[in-house]
Amino acid sequence: MTARVPPVAADRLPALLAAMPKAELHMHIEGSLEPEMAFALAARHGIALPYADSAALRRAYAFGDLQSFLDLYYQGAAVLRTEQDFYELARAYLARAATENVVHAEIFFDPQTHTARGVPMATVIRGLARAGDEARRERGISSALILCFLRHLSEREAFETLEQALPFRDAFIGVGLDSSERGHPPEKFARVFARCRELDLHIVAHAGEEGPPAYIWAALDVLKAERIDHGVQAVHDAALMQRLARERVPLTVCPLSNQKLQVFPDLARHSLPQLLAGGLCATVNSDDPAYFGGYVNANFQALFAATGLDAQAAWQLAANSFEASFVDASAKQRWLDRLNESFERAHDASA
């Protein structure tokens, strides 16, 4: 999907990035837990957090790599206990996303993070689904849930999680694979993903964030992933780049996350422009916005400021997000029409 867009003045580009409709396809709902909400939920449940206040917690968000982030991420999730907690968490994210002109969100959730603490699967899914239904009615933003398996745990535990979730099969559209990438290749989960395909669940997988291009190949060939989450290391494998472009395999890229976790300490050297130049279906997303310093529009703004990407790239990234989403063709066309209208307005304002 590509088109030549009308020229937009450079000084109009930041406003266009904020105003254009877009889909967000890589966002962990637990990663949208802002420090203020964490303290509010801790107080609700009588939990003592090891920080003086929300400002002190926010200062702790300095990470050297993925694992140092995950340690704090799992600690923060401990304040999520009830259906109301999960509902409020998702409601807050969807309200924020709607203000940033996100028209559709496909939201990751990590049930094992919660069931390991004794929180029932039903509590997690019902709270998240209720917020999604409400946001669709009241804000016009559609959403879907994707259940992620934690790759640092065993495949047996992933199977157990899948079985616990199946009574709520109508509430989620797919499965993913996240958590610590290094040392946990996709092959580790071949059988459980085969079972998920039998259940007609969409398949996505984190690969090629800190892990090598070989993990992306395995996610495609072993897990049969329809979409690769991150995938930024693909630039180191020419044959892989060609395949991803040829097969239009989407990559859900998260610039501020990559910067915060030292994958690309300097956004000016991020691989996303190279992915776009190679014809790949790359998208921009926020990953864990409460921890990484920005929701989706902040990711667009920071990336474009650092790399000099132009309005044509902005259109392509937004159009790619619609193409990569798991929705019907009529919805994709509706959003694409809105995208084109936003560019026409920006062009007229530039004249």
**CATH T-level topology, domain 10-350:** TIM Barrel (3.20.20)
Q: Is 181 within 8 Å of 143 (Cβ atoms)?
A: no
Residue in 24, 34, 100, 209 annotated catalytic: 209
328 has binding-site annotation: no
28 has binding-site annotation: yes
Band (pLDDT 50/70/90 cuts) for residue 140 is: very high
Q: Which neighbouring-strand residues pair with 28?
A: 108
Q: Is 327 exposed, middle or buried (CB count within 10 Å of its CB: 0-12, 13-18, 19+)?
A: middle
26 has binding-site annotation: yes
Per-residue exposure over 247-262, b if at least 16 CB sit within 10 Å of its own CB, e if not: eebbbbbbbbbbbbbe
DSSP, res 69:
H
Residues listed for the chain: 351
Q: Any idea where the domains of the chain sit in the sequence? A: 10-350
206 has binding-site annotation: yes
Say whether 187 is catalytic.
no
pLDDT in tens, 297-327: 999 999 999 999 999 999 999 999 999 999 9
Identify the residue whose tokens are 């969409």.
Answer: 202
Residue 40, token pair as written in the block: 């509010």
pLDDT at 346: 86
Query: What are the backbone dihedrals phi and psi of residue 85, each rounded to the nearest 5 degrees, phi first?
Result: -60, -50
Q: How far apart are CA 194 and CA 291, in angstroms?
A: 33
Greater model confidence, 59 or 194: 194
**Contacts of the segment 47-50: beta carbons below 8 A, 24+ positions apart:** 47/78, 47/79, 49/79
